């Protein structure tokens, strides 16, 4: 195989390849012999058709199939020999595949260029500063109490904080039931912060088991389900049961029930405060990182080829498809529509961030030795809650090394930045 590379742009290379006819002929001979075993032609027994007859009848077709099957392998081999790292799968631009002659083809290869990152010092950033308050700790402890609450069936009117079990029948504007829209044994925690409609719950206060109420209400404007957000509905609600929420006392015994590592309420409170502080640290770090990348992207503009952006969008869709498939337990249809403007923006932001980080690794000479990586893996294993050996056996091991390298890059950029602290 002979290869020649022509640089056609910062992103693209023209890869010219020539493969000796003997290599194609070797594969062609195997294909003829395989075809000979399977083909049936009147006048010949199966497996006994002469090769000359097969070549005369099917030669062009077999040759075309052999070349078609070989091309991906030849293209990958030629790309490696030329020392090219393709950013997206290469495409064949020209093909000369005359039988008996050397195979010649030209491929277009989009490569990852080395971006010369500039203006990465003295970036102006705002860093939030937050002190965890006693009120925040108390609120978190209250959430823990709610998770460990028990329920008791009561024979009294519904109050805020109770759980109502009821049947719902959707009604039309005139108050008549809509066939096919009855929902039984639905559970409502009255007064829950994430309630789809506080107005609905307010209208049910005071209802008792066995009672019916026709309720008109409006859904919250900020519901994630935009088809319901802000809309009105009309239901007949039939109460089945009212349950009282019984919260455990906030004492040392409660702390021990939460976890055997807590011997007192004070120990649990200290743990909750530490967790909240860690969450704030992570949130602040993420916000600073986002600011850094936004500043870097703005200070280092460069064009991205459309093929690379489209490939990145396909990758994003494939990841989302796998997530939905895992969640729903069934295959998801492939989305082959044109990328939306939002998808293009996300792809461009991701690609620019990726290339700028690669450039900074090179400029800042970021290196991680085995001992440092071992320590980092141990820390990550503890945070994730897995054994370090399981982490090392993961398919994503190199992702953790890149994660550590990224952390080093960001730490250096933060040291070089001009930071204004903002109390929140």
- Per residue in 308-348, pLDDT (tens digit) is 899 899 999 988 888 888 877 777 788 888 889 999 999 99
Domain 2-110 grouped into CATH 3.30.70.1050 = yes
**Per DSSP, which regions of 219-351 are E strands?**
232-246
Where along the chain do its domains lie? 2-110, 150-246, 256-423
pLDDT above 90 for 118: yes
pLDDT above 90 for 109: yes
Percent of the chain with pLDDT over 70: 100
For residue range 367-417, list pLDDT tens digits in order: 989 999 999 999 888 878 888 898 888 888 888 999 999 999 999 999 999
pLDDT above 80 for 50: yes
pLDDT above 80 for 29: yes
Higher per-residue pLDDT: 359 or 223: 359
* pLDDT attached to residue 306: 87
* pLDDT attached to residue 228: 87
Of 268, 157, 257, 160, whose CA–CA distance to 213 is shortest?
A: 157
Tell me which DSSP letter residue 16 carries. Answer: E
Domain 256-423 grouped into CATH 2.20.25.90 = no
**Per DSSP, which regions of 100-231 are E strands?**
103-110, 124-129, 150-154, 163-171, 177-189, 212-218
pLDDT, averaged across the chain: 91
* pLDDT attached to residue 56: 87
- Reported pTM: 0.68
* pLDDT attached to residue 95: 95
pLDDT above 90 for 159: yes
Question: Distance between CA atoms of 269 and 133, rounded to whole angstroms?
Answer: 12
Tell me which DSSP letter residue 362 carries. Answer: H
Pick the CATH number of 150-246 from 3.40.50.720, 3.90.1260.10, 3.30.70.3270, 3.10.50.40: 3.10.50.40
Q: How, if at all, do strands 103-110 and 212-218 pair?
A: unpaired
Question: Distance between CA atoms of 51 and 403, rounded to whole angstroms?
Answer: 58
* pLDDT attached to residue 45: 75
Percent of the chain with pLDDT over 90: 67
Higher per-residue pLDDT: 33 or 242: 242
For residue range 215-268, list pLDDT tens digits in order: 999 999 988 888 888 999 999 999 999 999 888 999 999 999 998 899 999 999
Read off the pLDDT of each residue in 66-94 and give the average, rounded to a whole number: 92
For residue range 273-305, list pLDDT tens digits in order: 999 999 999 999 999 999 999 999 999 999 898
C-alpha dist (Å) from residue 337 to 70, 188, 310: 30, 40, 11
* pLDDT attached to residue 413: 95
Report the sign of the C-alpha dihedral through residues 25, 30, 33, 38, in that order: negative
For residue range 137-157, list pLDDT tens digits in order: 999 999 899 888 889 999 999
């Amino acid at each position: 195989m002979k290869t020649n590379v022509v640089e056609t742009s910062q992103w693209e290379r023209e890869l010219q390849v020539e493969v000796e006819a003997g290599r194609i002929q070797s594969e062609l001979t195997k294909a003829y012999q395989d075809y000979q075993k399977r083909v049936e032609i009147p006048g010949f027994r199966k497996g006994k058709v002469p090769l000359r007859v097969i070549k005369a009848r099917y030669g062009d077709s077999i040759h075309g199939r052999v070349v078609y099957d070989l091309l991906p392998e030849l293209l990958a081999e030629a790309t490696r020999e030329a020392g090219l790292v393709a950013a997206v799968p290469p495409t064949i631009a020209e093909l000369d595949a005359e039988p008996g002659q050397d195979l010649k083809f030209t491929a277009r290869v989009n490569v990852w260029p080395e971006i010369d990152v500039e203006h990465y010092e003295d970036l102006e950033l705002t860093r939030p500063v937050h002190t965890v308050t006693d009120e925040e700790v108390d609120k978190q402890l209250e959430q823990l109490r709610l998770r460990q609450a028990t329920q008791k069936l009561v024979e009294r009117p519904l109050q805020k904080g109770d759980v109502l079990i009821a049947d719902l029948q959707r009604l039309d504007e005139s108050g008549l039931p809509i066939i096919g829209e009855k929902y039984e044994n639905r559970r409502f925690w009255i007064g829950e912060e994430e309630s789809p409609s506080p107005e609905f719950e307010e209208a049910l206060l005071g209802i008792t088991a066995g009672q019916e109420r026709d309720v008109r209400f409006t859904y919250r404007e900020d519901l994630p389900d935009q088809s319901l957000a802000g809309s009105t509905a009309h239901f007949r609600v039939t109460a089945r049961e009212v349950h009282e929420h019984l919260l455990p006392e906030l004492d040392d015994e409660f702390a021990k029930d939460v976890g055997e590592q807590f011997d007192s309420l004070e120990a649990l409170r200290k743990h909750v405060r530490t967790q909240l502080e860690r969450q704030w640290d992570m949130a602040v770090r993420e916000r600073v990182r986002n600011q850094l990348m936004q500043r870097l992207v703005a200070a280092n503009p460069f064009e991205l080829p459309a093929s690379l952006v489209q490939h990145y969008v396909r990758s994003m869709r494939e990841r989302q498809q796998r997530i939905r498939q895992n969640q729903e337990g069934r295959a998801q249809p492939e989305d082959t529509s044109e990328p939306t403007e939002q998808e293009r923006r996300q792809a461009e932001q991701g690609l620019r961030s990726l290339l700028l980080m690669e450039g900074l690794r090179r400029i800042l000479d970021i290196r991680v030795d085995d001992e440092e990586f071992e320590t980092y893996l141990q820390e990550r294993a503890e945070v994730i809650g897995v054994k370090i050996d399981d982490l090392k056996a993961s398919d994503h091991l190199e992702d953790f090394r890149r994660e550590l390298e990224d952390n080093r890059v960001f730490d250096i950029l933060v040291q070089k930045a001009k930071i204004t602290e903002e109390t929140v």
